Amino acid sequence: MVDALQRCERAQVEHALAVLCGQPPAGLSIAAKATRVVPPEIPAGLPSELLQRRPDVVEAERRLAAASARIGVAKAAFFPTIKLTGAAGYASADLGTLVDWPSRFAQFGPSLSVPVFQGGRNRANLQAARARFEQNVAAYRGSVLNALREVEDSLSDPSTLAAQAEAVNRALVSARDTATLANERHQRGLTSYLDVVDAEREALKAERQDAQLRGERAVSTILLAKALGGGWAGANTIGLAKAE
């Protein structure tokens, strides 16, 4: 029952990896093999510019830029609008024709729109645009702070897990040595087989703790790469570009 459940969970993880890689779920198959995954070393002095690659930060930044542009549009609504072509499509060669009698016919000559009676609506639109801009500023600030929080959380885990890994590794080595010694003593008739079973049980327990801790270290490294918007591979490139 346990093996069937593990196979099902493994298949689901493979399907998720296939979708993440842009492949059909049934198109990815990873052979199961015993391996000892060592998390990559995290370089010191990661630049904050790495956060600019995060999709949520980029989206908040673009929304902020759009809200700023809408303020300019709302301000432009206060100025007169001059159309240089009439309804018939004839171009006005000189703005001086605005005072001529033929130009008073909007369907043929240039037209002038002065928003005298729309001041209240334009002011309301401007205030709304400014309010949306402030809202987007707060959203952008929140996105950046959330990104910094995720990075700080992800950076605190590897150091703590690394210290735990050293302690678990020492316990694992000691448990394996104890199991080997108990087996030798049993073969020489000095102890019963129950001592061997107990020693091997402790060694297996230590191996499970070691495997679980290595999995947690791998997950913490993945979460850090995610919090940085794709890892730290471009950290040196960004640093050089900034220095230039």
> pLDDT band for position 242 (50/70/90)?
very low
- Min mean pLDDT across 18-27, 66-75, 77-86, 148-157 is at 77-86
For 163, other C-beta atoms within 10 Å of its C-beta total 10
Provide the 8-state DSSP code for 53.
G
pLDDT digits (tens, 9 = 90+) for 14-49: 888 888 788 888 888 877 776 666 777 777 777 778
DSSP string, 135-160: HHHHHHHHHHHHHHHHHHHHHHHHHH
Higher pLDDT, 1 or 198: 198
The conformation of residue 1, written as its DSSP 8-state character, comes to: -
Residue 207: pLDDT over 60? yes
Q: Which residues contact 136 (CB under 8 A, 6 or more apart)?
A: 60, 63, 64, 66, 67
Average pLDDT over residues 178-206: 88
At 242, which amino acid appears? K
Segment among 3-17, 36-50, 188-202 with least mean pLDDT: 36-50
Does the predicted TM-score (pTM) go above 0.85?
no
97 pLDDT above the threshold of 60? no
Of 149, 152, 154, 148, give the one whose Cα is nearest residue 220. 154
- By C-alpha distance, which of 78, 75, 81, 76 is closest to 126? 75
Q: How far apart are CA 238 and CA 232, in angstroms?
A: 10
Residue 38 in 3-state DSSP?
Answer: coil
Helix-strand-coil split of the chain, %, nearest 5: 70, 5, 25
**175 pLDDT exceeds 70?**
yes
